[in-house]
Amino acid sequence: SASRRDHLPSRWSAATSRQQQNADQSASKNMSSHVTGREKTARCAHLLVKHTESRNPVSRRTGEQITMSKDHARRYLEGLLEGIKAAPDSETAFRELCSSRSDCGSYREAGDLGDFGRGQMQRPFEEATFALKIGELSGVVDTDSGLHVILRLPLRSQRDSEPPAKKQRASQVRAAHLLLKTTSSRNPVSRRTNESIRLAPSDARVELEGYRKEIVGSADPHKAFAAKAKQRSDCSSYSRGGDLGHFGPGQMQKPFEDASFALEVGEISGIVESDSGLHIILRLA
């Protein structure tokens, strides 16, 4: 038969609704609690594609009702997975798609669900995650929430045990960003043009994805990022090529902060959504 991992359903539902999470967890309580000789904690990111048979067929990213059939969703996700595996950097490609395509609320964190223990997720999702090696991608996994691809990540608790000098380096970051405001932004006025925003969130996402591909594919991505921020960003930092200077925890909106601190120096994020609009972020220091 095919490998066990190919058939393990793997993903827990969206994580934005705490009530839904509790319901999911209680539904999984009948699983075995016997963990002797097995890992007890894991961390992963996942890309969830919901379909019309999903337990809650509403995308947590778009807020829209799902109309895609299960068969169509499987073909769609298999196509995305092929593209991820063919990419020069599969993990980066995966995390970008989690930000731009996942129907789980974790899309805001590029799919990252954080650390979790046995018994906290739906059984198929748990088994698929624990079966993976760190850095390994699953195949398509089927749960009541929808269809998933999972990437196992190092535990966050492992980062807590890093030497103090290393942790100090991450106490502040310096980042630049390109912000596209939308009609859903809390202040839908461009700081660059002082005009009211008429761009729909879905159109802004497509536009920003195009900019990111253009920047990453350029000969000098950092220079291209600054130039595009000056030309198009709706943040007042446009005049500095998007440079926001140094900032620490608690100084930015949480999704923006989390994305900035998760980046390596010189790395460009996928699309990040905040109350201000949609961003791509370049970590500078």
Is 122 considered catalytic here? yes
Task: Supply the DSSP symbol for 268.
Answer: B
Task: Supply the DSSP symbol for 265.
Answer: T
* Dist. CA 87–CA 78, nearest whole Å: 14
Q: State the catalytic residue, choosing from 51, 148, 177, 279.
A: 148
Select from 71, 78, 70 the least CA-distant residue to 50.
Answer: 70
User: What secondary structure does DSSP assign to 185-226, as a single string?
Assistant: SSS-B-TTT-PBP---HHHHHHHHHHHHHHHHTSSSHHHHHH
Q: Which two tokens stand for residue 14?
A: 């969206």
- 9 three-class SS: coil
Is 253 considered catalytic here? no
Half-sphere exposure of 37 (CA within 13 A, CB side): 0
* Dist. CA 94–CA 102, nearest whole Å: 10
Question: What Cα–Cα distance (Å) separates residue 241 from each residue in 141, 207, 264?
Answer: 41, 18, 19
Q: State the catalytic residue, choosing from 10, 13, 46, 102.
A: 46
Q: State the catalytic residue, choosing from 104, 190, 233, 276.
A: 104
Half-sphere exposure of 81 (CA within 13 A, CB side): 22
Is 72 considered catalytic here? no
Q: Which two tokens stand for residue 107?
A: 């899309």
* Dist. CA 48–CA 107, nearest whole Å: 9
CA 59-135-159 angle, to 5 degrees, is 95
Is 7 considered catalytic here? no
Is 46 considered catalytic here? yes
Q: State the catalytic residue, choosing from 100, 106, 122, 190.
A: 122
Active site residues: 46, 104, 122, 145, 148
